[in-house]
Amino acid sequence: MTKLEKARDYEVKNQTDPNRQPAFHLTPPVGWMNDPNGFSVYNGKVHLFYQYHPYDLRWGPMHWGHQSSADMIVWDRMPVVLAPDQPYDQDGCFSGTAIATDAGHLLVYTGVTKENGVEVQNQCLAIGDGRVYRKLDRNPVVRGEMMPAGFSRTDFRDPKIWKEDENWWMVVGSRDEERGQIALFASDNGMDWKYERVLLAAEDGFGTMWECPDFFRLDGKSVLICSPQNVEAMDYTFHNGHNGVAFVGESDAMNFQGVKAQPLDYGFDFYAPQTTTLPDGRQVLIAWMSSWHSPIVASHQTWSAQMTLPRELSLRNGKLIQQPVRELETWYKETIRYKQVPIQEPQSVAGVEGRYVDFTIRFSKPATSEFTMELAKDERYGTRFTVDPKKGIVELDRTFSGLKEDVITIRRAKIPAEGIQTIRVVMDLYSIELFINEGEMVMSCVIPTAETANQIVFGSEEPIEIDLDFHTIDAPAIRAKREVLA
């Protein structure tokens, strides 16, 4: 039995019951999952691959797991497509991307091996039909020695591939002796590649390695996304550790010199974001909703991690805006709308409760004193979101969400200059995603809270009125439609 056959057999026999997993956030059938890979559209379906170690809840030799979807809400489990089974990838098939071509669905990934006892990373290709893929005989197609002297051969990974007109392009995460950077490669045919230049490099110590680059055009601008590692906190803008950031260029040229990084998520659990372009033109982002430094796995889980809800991207005043994909709305079960609800003492609102919900708060005027929401709450548990205009911060606190590990429990960020106008909350079984001011600021959070904790409580230091649009999501119907492995 080959390594790929072994992985496929294992995941079929050990897959988790979908009823014990989140309803509309992609999760692996079993084992460990990290970075999204190959987020793309092929043969009428959205495909998402991911870093995958089916045999354990911890990181291990990397495979590529696979799921597909017609609407990015119901995710069908597909067989694992890549296993580390060749001399050039025997230590792991690391992250990469995918693109639809006339010859088939082309995957580009990082093959990891060792040379003289030192880990070496190169870029490789595989092609398939949306279910079965074969690695190309010419692998690896982009080698580290193509780059200038002093560039790391060990930290050279996570290729993003795209085509414009007749030209093929690839960006790869890289580093030199001191800092993270993004290397740019070009090709006439998608197979034969040459090194072009460093597209952008870290300044002021902003990350020792830049992982998971993504490049796309949006509203006449060029956008570069990457994930800097080992960042020091900067005035609530970037948090300690590993971040996801965007650079929005001033034009559609591939030039990001002097462009400031924008944080993509201010919460706990967001890394390695990747985007794809849908047939209707929407640019959609998805990310690993976890953290290398404080992963959260409930005690009963046979799987580790989930992806964020896919998010539609747009630009507003030069800032990248994120909103949940509109397809979520087709799964609304019940809707309640309130106008001018008075809030002061901690209180619930009739009918506003649940763990599979999507609701939006609108303030009649920006709060001038502390406003709180407690989510996934009962007598024992609760995750609190606080708006504190006097301190000029928002705070997300999951201290009492049921955690039993010494992990990060509080995250703070600055209130936008115009104040807090709207807060949209999307909750699934083990997650909370907050979209503030129509997606100007996003905070993602994983919680291990028991599903029975379903209260939602609002409070305000001073009297305030809110409008509230509240939707329950039909989790049983989503789960029932999901295809499992057979």
Taking Cα atoms as reference points, which of 58, 46, 47, 64 lies closest to residue 7? 64
Give 86's DSSP letter. Answer: S
Q: Report the DSSP beta bridge partners of residue 311.
A: 285, 324
Q: Are 17 and 255 in contact (CB under 8 A)?
A: no
35 is catalytic: yes
Q: Residue 373 and residue 369: Cα distance in Å, rounded? A: 14
Catalytic residue among 35, 89, 176, 474: 35
- Six-digit token pair at 372? 């709180």
Residue with tokens 């014990």, as numbered in its chain: 20
Rounded to an integer, what is the distance from CA 365 to the centroid of its chain?
A: 32
Torsion of CA 44, 50, 53, 56, to 10 degrees: -100
Residue with tokens 């085509």, as numbered in its chain: 163
Q: Residue 317 and residue 363: Cα distance in Å, rounded? A: 22
Q: Residue 241 and residue 139: Cα distance in Å, rounded? A: 33
State in Å, rounded, how far the first CA of the chain is from the last one.
Answer: 18
Q: Are 280 and 71 in contact (CB under 8 A)?
A: no
Q: Are 35 and 52 in contact (CB under 8 A)?
A: no
Q: Report the DSSP beta bridge partners of residue 472.
A: 334, 357
- Six-digit token pair at 72? 């990015």
Catalytic residue annotation? 35
